[in-house]
Amino acid sequence: MSSDQKIAIVTGSSSGIGLETAIHLAKNGFKTYATMRNLGKSDDIKQRAQTENLPIEIAQLDVTDDDSVKTAINKIAEKEGKIDVLVNNAGYAVIGAAEDLSSKEIKDQFDTNVFGVYRATQAVLPTMRKQQSGRIITISSIAGFSGFPAMSAYVGTKFAVEGFTESLRHEVAPFGIHACVVEPGVIKTNIMKAAPIAKRSQEENSPYSDIIQAIGKGMEGAMKAMGSPPSVVAEAVLQAATAENSEIRYTAGEDAKMLQQAKKTKSDKEFEEFVKTGFLDQLTNN
């Protein structure tokens, strides 16, 4: 490895967007640390790295554990002497109506998707400040600027990381550090299959059970019919990591671009109707 090779850390790299992002960064000149909570799920990325001879190292990192985050990132910083890019990707979606969600289900969602971003970001900042450079890229979503039924906890976390990043961007700019978000649309991953459903929303007497089932089926159908591959997100991350001056946000997928444009040009009332008729009605009618 040349001394000027850039070092990237990607959280949640065992599958989907995280795996593709780690691979794509490694293919484009980064030595990439693909981190994940469960190393037992590292076979896919190990095989890809070996087959394609990529500069990827696997590291255990659980974004919900303070010690795990600090230990993993400090080891990388000590070994490499620098950290150029952090990609905050680890996350999941809990499905359930707001009324049905338990406090624990909501707290667990925020612990991974929001506090995990804080933990990893805080851990890399001392190194990035010292070197006067760095990129902190957080994977948000179209759910970071638009609400969707049955996903209030997940949407809440994505709105949170958007606000976090906008504030962070101001704080770290004087140190030569850039912070931004990537907003994917519907992406073909296993996020919906892996998504836990709120206990109460699974009960037959839940007043929201019909809409939960319709949204779940609709999302699966949308992924098959119109979902973009994870590679479009990985490419957006690479743009954010290599641009001379990064934008605040990057959209990934044609649906995300369409929705973001509508958000910019329509009133709140018009946008709400646009989301309902142009997206939600199609989902529930699948």
Whole-number percent of the chain with pLDDT over 70: 92
Active-site pick, 33, 92, 118, 154: 154
Give every CB contact of residue 46 below 8 A, 6+ residues apart in sequence.
58
CB 186 within 8 A of CB 228: yes
CB 222 within 8 A of CB 186: yes
> Which residues lie closer than 8 Å to 270 by C-beta, 6 or more apart?
none
Domain boundaries, the chain: 6-284
214 band by pLDDT with thresholds 50, 70 and 90: confident
Specify the residue for token string 């007497």.
205
Q: Is the pLDDT of residue 218 over 80?
A: no
Domain 6-284 of CATH type 3.40.50.720: yes
In whole angstroms, give the CA distance from residue 209 to residue 200. Answer: 9
| pLDDT for 1 beyond 50 | no
* Cα–Cα dist 54/47, whole Å: 10
State yes or no: is 154 an active-site residue: yes
DSSP string across 117-161 = HHHHHHHHHHHHHHHT-EEEEEE--GGGTS--TTBHHHHHHHHHH
Question: Does the predicted TM-score (pTM) go above 0.85?
Answer: yes
**Lowest mean pLDDT, pick from 37-51, 124-138, 212-226:** 212-226
Comparing 13-27, 78-92, 223-237, the range with the smallest average pLDDT is 223-237
Q: For the chain, what is the mean pLDDT?
A: 92
